[in-house]
Amino acid sequence: MKKLVTILVALFVFGALEVSAQQKTPSVSIGSNTHDFGTIKEDDGPVAYDFTITNTGAAPLIIHRVTATCGCTTPVWTKEPIAPGGKGSVNVTYDPKGRPGPFHKTITVYTNAENATTIFAVKGNVLERKKTKEEIYRRQIGSVNFINNHISLGRVFTNKIVNDTMRLYNPSENPAKIGFFNVPKHITIAAIPQTLKPQQEGIIVIKYDASKNDDWGFVIDRFYLTINDQTIQNNFLSVSGNLEEDFSNLSEKELEKAPKVVFNQPSYDFGTVKQGTTIEYEFVFKNEGKSDLVIRKIKASCGCTTVQPNVSVLKPGESSLVKASFRTNGYTGRQSKSITVITNDPKASTVVLRLTGTVTTEG
């Protein structure tokens, strides 16, 4: 009996020691896990903040590693074990250079505590530094600089005139008289002022009259610059737009009497073919409207060619076809070639036809 009691006491003591050992673990305690830097200036440089970590456990706390969500946030942390009741820190530095606007970055701390990860965050708003004119006007043409040498007008109705501007700057020590050549008839262009003084900014005013451009769909025009009456070789300005007919003023009766283009099959999958095969297909279409259908333009993507229909005007009920040809030489893998058809159908003025399939080098 005495022996049994001794064994039971020993087991009890051993179990108590084991429980005590298990309870001796580190524990992480923090205050706020987020710091707001508020509004900071980009040109003031990096900002930093120390997050404090307290070990409220009964064993040393070890910070294994710390990771940040981006390279703009650099953490530095306490490398030595933090004794029970002791404190450590995670220092977070945020570099605002080149990062104007609001930010919110997280930092993950990995430790040997029971809750192994702790997440901190820093946030704020960066005021963009004032850029130099050389940084703003980065596109150099001759002795003058542009913000951009291209204007995208987007959607352009053929019965409207669209105006836009380009900004330019003369960084040199000499005056720069601005002129132009090879300007298409539907574009009117002028520099204001015509002669830029040294370190002076100016604008180029562009007026685009789509009614004078006998074209449809996406169109890009290039023209050239002269400075002090000297031609600037291999440098150009460009203007692009998507030319469309304006149907917005059509009445319900006019829409009912309008042409209607309907394709039997707007896409054709040619399956899998060997490289070098020429794919040919005829897209059949019909005018199911109540007035003449006019084919404005047919344009194929790179690698595909088309043959214009025999007639460009279809009476109601008439049919025609668009012949497409795709030469697969030099192509491999999945292919998708498009043909854009532009008509005077107010509800489907632009139709995109597609040839799709796979080109392989195997026999």
- The enclosing domain of 69 has a CATH number of 2.60.40.10
Spatial separation of the C-alpha atoms in residues 222 and 89, rounded to whole Å: 60
Residue 113 covered by a domain: yes
Question: Quick one: 264 and 200 in the same domain?
Answer: no
Give per-residue pLDDT as tens, 247-294. Answer: 999 999 999 999 999 999 999 999 999 999 999 999 999 999 999 999
Q: Mark the ranges of the chain whose per-residue pLDDT is less than 50.
A: 1-2, 4-21
Question: Quick one: 185 and 237 in the same domain?
Answer: yes
Residue 1 covered by a domain: no
* Residue indicated by tokens 């003031």: 44
- Domain hosting residue 232, numbered range: 133-244
Strand order in the sheet with 63-68: 34-41, 117-127, 101-111, 63-68
Question: Quick one: 279 and 236 in the same domain?
Answer: no
- pLDDT given at position 10: 44
Question: Quick one: 273 and 328 in the same domain?
Answer: yes
- pLDDT given at position 245: 94
Question: Quick one: 150 and 89 in the same domain?
Answer: no
Question: Quick one: 306 and 331 in the same domain?
Answer: yes
From 353, 348, 288, select the one nearest 325 (Cα to Cα).
353
- pLDDT given at position 315: 96
- pLDDT given at position 23: 59
Residue 174 covered by a domain: yes
pTM of the model: 0.68
Question: Quick one: 40 and 85 in the same domain?
Answer: yes
Q: Where a domain ends, among 64, 93, 127?
A: 127
Question: Quick one: 213 and 280 in the same domain?
Answer: no
Residue 92 covered by a domain: yes
DSSP reduced 3-state for 300? strand
Residue 4 covered by a domain: no
Q: Where a domain ends, among 175, 210, 244?
A: 244
Q: Where a domain ends, among 244, 279, 295?
A: 244
Question: Quick one: 50 and 120 in the same domain?
Answer: yes
Beta strands in 182-318, from DSSP E residues, in sequence order: 187-192, 195-196, 201-209, 217-227, 230-244, 261-263, 267-274, 278-287, 293-300, 304-307, 313-314
Residue 257 covered by a domain: yes
- pLDDT given at position 168: 96
Strand order in the sheet with 267-274: 267-274, 350-360, 333-343, 293-300, 313-314
Question: Quick one: 122 and 150 in the same domain?
Answer: no
Count of the separate structural domains present in the chain: 3
Give per-residue pLDDT as tens, 90-139. Answer: 999 999 998 999 999 999 999 999 888 999 999 999 999 888 898 899 99
At a CB cut-off of 8 Å and minimum separation 6, what does 337 contact? Answer: 300, 301, 302, 303, 304, 324, 326, 354, 355, 356
From 355, 346, 350, select the one nearest 302 (Cα to Cα).
355
Residue 320 covered by a domain: yes
Question: Quick one: 259 and 351 in the same domain?
Answer: yes
Go through 111-126 and write b for each residue having 16 or more CB atoms within 10 A of its CB, e for each that does not: bbbeeeebebbbebeb
- pLDDT given at position 363: 62
Residue 21 covered by a domain: no
- pLDDT given at position 141: 92
